[in-house]
Amino acid sequence: MSYSITLPPGRYAMLLRKSREDEEAEAEGQYETLRYHEGQLNRLADSFGIRIAEEDIYRELQSGEILAECHNVLRLVEKVSAGYYVGVLVVSGERLTRGDPVDRGTILSSFTYSRTLIITPQRIYDPTIEQDMFMLEIELLMGRQELGRINYRFANGKVNKSTEGQYLAARAPFGWDKIVVDRRKTIRPNSDAPLVVSWYEELAAGRTTCGRIADDLNARGVPSPTGGLWTALTIAQIIRNPVNKGYVRWGLQKTVTEFTSDFQKVKRRYRADDEDVVLEKGLHEGIVSEELWAAAVANITHETRKRRSYEQRDPLAGLLVCAGCGRAMHRVTCGEGIPERYTHPSVNRRECWQTGATVADVMALLSESLQAVCADMAVADDEGEDERKATLKRADLMEADAAEAQAGIERLFRLVEKGFIEDEDFYARKVRLDERIKEDRKQAAMLRGEAEGMLDTEQRMTYLRQAIAEVEDYEGRAREVNEVLKRLLDRIEYRKEKGGQPHIEVWLR
- The structural domains of the chain, ordered by start, are 12-160 (3.40.50.1390), 176-308 (3.90.1750.20), 361-508 (no CATH)
Using CA atoms, how far residue 70 sits from 75, 96, 98, 196, 414, in Å, is 9, 11, 12, 39, 33
pLDDT in tens, 24-61: 444 444 446 778 888 889 898 888 888 999 999 998 87
Contact 66, 21 (CB under 8 A): no
Which of 178-203 are b and which e, b meaning 16 or more Cβ less than 10 Å from the residue's Cβ? Answer: eeeeeeebbbebeeebeebbebbebb
pTM value?
0.47
Q: At what angle do helices 290-308 and 193-204 cross, to 10 degrees?
A: 60
Rounded CA separation 39/89 (Å): 12
Question: Of 30-44, 59-73, 77-91, which gets the smallest average pLDDT?
Answer: 59-73
Tell me 489's DSSP state.
E
Measure the CA angle with vertex 300, ends 294 and 302; round to 5°: 95
Give me the pLDDT at residue 29, please: 43
Residue 273 predicted with pLDDT over 80: no
Q: Tens of pLDDT along 235-272?
A: 999 999 999 999 988 777 777 666 665 556 666 776 76
pLDDT digits (tens, 9 = 90+) for 125-171: 888 888 888 888 777 777 766 666 666 666 676 777 778 888 888 88
pLDDT tens for 452-504 read: 766 556 667 777 788 888 888 888 788 888 888 888 888 888 888 777 888 88
Phi, psi (rounded to 5 degrees) for 124 = -105, 125
Average pLDDT (98-127) is 83
Q: Three-class SS of residue 94? A: helix
Q: What distance in Å separates the CA atoms of residue 167 and residue 180, rounded to the nearest whole number?
A: 10
DSSP string, 394-428: HHHHHHHHHHHHHHHHHHHHHHHHTTSS-HHHHHH
User: Are 150 and 63 contacting, i.e. CB atoms less than 8 angstroms apart?
Assistant: no
pLDDT of the residue at 142:
74
Longest dimension (CA), the chain: 93
pLDDT higher at 507 or 292: 292
Mean pLDDT (the chain) is 79
Beta bridge partners of 507: 491
CA–CA separation, 354 vs 327, rounded Å?
11
